[in-house]
């Protein structure tokens, strides 16, 4: 007989450990287990080991709402974040509930038994074996991209290149780039992190981008937050800083939507001031798209700009013709010399970690389902997936999703109910893409993801304040969430 749990959590990363904490705190009598495909806690922050890896949002909002971020730096490095997640798991006993090397492959809901049967592949030595569990509620905290591979386009002449070609998702521990010429292909958060870090010891680093990205510098330390810590309890200071940063971000996002040209000018003027009046900011840091049509890149203490001004790094905006033996030939005719090429070309997105979902033995095509409040799916009972914001810290939405889940389970227990199933009613709901984001990594794979609707509760807010009211305080009595 399969081992049974009240709640099964898939993934032991930032959101999975957070989900377990909320469950223990709010529903302490519930049994749960965490299935983790890898051999360590941390998810993204354990997988990625490239030089300089850090958060791309501040830790007062990326950190948990229940555990103040202990570090002085608001823009934190990857190892510090990994330690924070591990510490949270250990000090709350969550680590004892994790089953490592358990990669979930399938989940089937039985209406007759009101439970999920979850199938996982267990890595055992050189081989794998299949195991099953059952649970009443399934929480998917497996992130949104494929761990086994990143996205790398086909480059003509790649086999001709004599140096090393590396994707940041699989950084070799023994790579020595000191004194070498490096080309980093890409202009997103990964590229703007790697370039200044490698430039510290490399001969020269070129960030080769097909198109520019908005890059914004912020201090690595939040002086207001550190000041508040000196005269009020840590939790108060953390909560106030969290709200300060949330409201500031919402204001900037709102301005970007209402007055994109004005915000564009502010951002490019800031870059111009950083790099000097002679630097071609309009060529390298002025995208064709409006602010927040794609995610902005945050750099701490102007590190990228400083390395460019020092001559250790440079930006080239052009397209690739082919790789050559000694580097990259561009369509403009220029050839970039390289000993190492880093393909910071993006992620390969994957929904629910690739888990095949079925209801009563019938496979569910999740890409055709509407998403309810950004976490449940039409016609699929007792399944919650954690997915954060595109315009703010991931954890903000994760915390609210977990709170909603605990409220829902408590209400079901009080009613003696066994299933909660979103069901869209009315013909006024039109399907739209789940994410309104023009980034390449999203557009390449958006067809794999569920859809959102054109009205509540099937439309994503992408707004923390609105979600606080809906998920933390909103009613659970909803005719489009059938509790039975």
For the cut 80, the answer to whether the pLDDT of residue 126 exceeds it is: no
For the beta carbon of residue 200, count every other beta carbon within 10 angstroms. 15
Contact (Cβ atoms closer than 8 angstroms) between residue 388 and residue 14 = no
In this prediction, residue 61 has a pLDDT band, given cuts at 50, 70 and 90, of: very high
Q: What is the pLDDT of residue 437?
A: 72
Secondary structure (3-state) at 175: coil
Instruction: Name the CATH superfamily housing domain 3-147+348-483.
Output: FAD/NAD(P)-binding domain (3.50.50.60)
Banded model confidence at residue 144, pLDDT cuts 50, 70, 90 = confident
Q: Do domains 3-147+348-483 and 152-345 have the same CATH topology?
A: yes
Question: For residue 299, what are the β-bridge partners?
Answer: 217
Quickly tell me which residue has 């948990």 as its tokens: 64
Give mean pLDDT, residues 166-194. 95
The tokens of 424 are what?
A: 């869209």
Q: pLDDT grade, residue 387 (50/70/90)?
A: very high
CATH architecture of 152-345: 3-Layer(bba) Sandwich (3.50)
Examine the pLDDT at 426 and tell me if it is beyond 80. Answer: no
* Phi, psi for residue 254 in degrees, rounded to 5: -60, -45
Are the C-beta atoms of residues 155 and 320 closer than 8 Å to each other? yes
Mean pLDDT of 304-330: 97
pLDDT tier for residue 299 given thresholds of 50, 70 and 90 = very high
- The whole-number pLDDT of residue 124 equals 81
pLDDT in the model for residue 347: 87
Q: What is the pLDDT of residue 429?
A: 85
Least confident range of 13-17, 144-148, 315-319, 480-484 = 144-148
What pLDDT does 294 receive? 86
- Residue 440 in this model has a pLDDT that exceeds 80: no
Burial of 235 from C-beta contacts in 10 A (0-12 / 13-18 / 19+): exposed
**293 vs 473, higher pLDDT:** 473
Number of CB atoms found within 10 A of residue 213's CB: 22
**Domain extent listing, the chain:** 3-147+348-483, 152-345
In this prediction, residue 435 carries a pLDDT of 79
**What's the mean per-residue pLDDT of the chain?**
94
- Least reliable range by pLDDT among 135-139, 349-353, 357-361: 349-353
Average pLDDT over residues 320-338: 97
Contacts for 322 with CB less than 8 Å, ≥ 6 apart: 155, 156, 157, 160, 328, 329
Angstrom CA distances, 50 to 171, 186, 193, stand at 5, 14, 9
Q: What is the token pair recorded at 213?
A: 């990205």
Give the pTM.
Answer: 0.95
DSSP label at residue 225: H
Q: What percent of the chain has pLDDT over 70?
A: 100
Res. 390 pLDDT band, cuts 50 70 90: confident
Tell me the average pLDDT across 158-178: 95
Cα–Cα dist 369/383, whole Å: 13
**Nearest-10 crossing angle of helices 14-26, 394-415:** 30
DSSP state of 468: I
């Amino acid at each position: 007989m399969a081992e049974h749990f009240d709640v099964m959590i898939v993934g032991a990363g930032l959101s999975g450990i957070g989900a377990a904490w909320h469950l223990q705190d709010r529903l302490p009598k519930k049994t749960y287990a965490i299935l983790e495909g890898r051999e360590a806690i941390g998810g993204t922050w354990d997988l990625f080991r490239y030089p300089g890896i850090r958060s791309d949002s501040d830790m007062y909002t990326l950190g948990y709402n229940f555990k103040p971020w202990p570090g002085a730096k608001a823009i934190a490095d990857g190892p510090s974040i990994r330690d924070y997640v591990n510490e949270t798991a250990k000090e709350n006993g969550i680590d004892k509930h994790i089953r490592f090397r358990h990669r979930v492959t399938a989940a089937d809901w039985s209406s007759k038994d009101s439970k999920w049967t979850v199938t996982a592949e267990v890595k055992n030595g050189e081989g794998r074996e299949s195991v099953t569990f059952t649970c009443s509620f399934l929480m998917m905290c497996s992130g949104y991209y494929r761990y086994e591979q990143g996205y790398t386009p086909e480059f003509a002449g790649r086999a001709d290149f004599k140096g090393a070609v590396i994707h940041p998702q699989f950084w070799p521990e023994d790579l020595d780039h000191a004194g070498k010429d490096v080309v980093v292909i890409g202009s997103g958060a990964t590229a703007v992190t790697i370039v200044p870090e490698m430039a510290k010891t490399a001969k020269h680093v070129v960030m080769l981008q097909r198109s520019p990205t908005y890059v914004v510098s912020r201090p690595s330390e939040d002086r207001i937050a550190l000041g508040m810590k000196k005269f009020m309890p840590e939790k108060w200071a953390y909560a106030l800083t969290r709200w300060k940063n949330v409201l500031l971000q919402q204001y900037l996002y709102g301005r970007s939507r209402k007055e994109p040209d004005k915000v564009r000018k502010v951002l490019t003027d800031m870059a111009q001031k950083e790099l000097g009046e002679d630097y071609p900011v309009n060529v390298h840091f002025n995208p064709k798209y409006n602010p927040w049509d794609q995610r902005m890149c945050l750099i701490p203490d102007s590190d990228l700009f400083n390395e460019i001004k020092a001559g250790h790094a440079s930006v080239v905006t052009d397209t690739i013709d082919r790789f050559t033996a000694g580097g990259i030939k561009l369509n403009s005719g220029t050839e970039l010399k390289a000993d190492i090429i880093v393909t910071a070309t993006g992620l390969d997105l994957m929904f629910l970690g690739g888990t095949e979902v079925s209801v009563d033995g019938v496979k569910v095509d999740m890409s055709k389902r509407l998403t309810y409040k950004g976490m449940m799916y039409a016609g699929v009972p007792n399944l919650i997936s954690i997915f954060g914001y595109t315009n703010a810290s991931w954890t903000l939405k994760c915390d609210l999703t977990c709170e909603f889940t605990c409220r829902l389970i408590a209400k079901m227990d009080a009613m003696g109910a066994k299933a909660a199933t979103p069901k869209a009613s009315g013909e006024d709901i039109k399907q739209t893409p789940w994410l309104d984001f023009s980034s390449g990594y999203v557009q390449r794979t958006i067809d794999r993801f569920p859809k959102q609707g054109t009205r509540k509760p099937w439309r994503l807010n992408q707004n923390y304040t609105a979600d606080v009211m809906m998920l933390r305080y909103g009613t659970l009595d909803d005719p489009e969430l059938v509790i039975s």
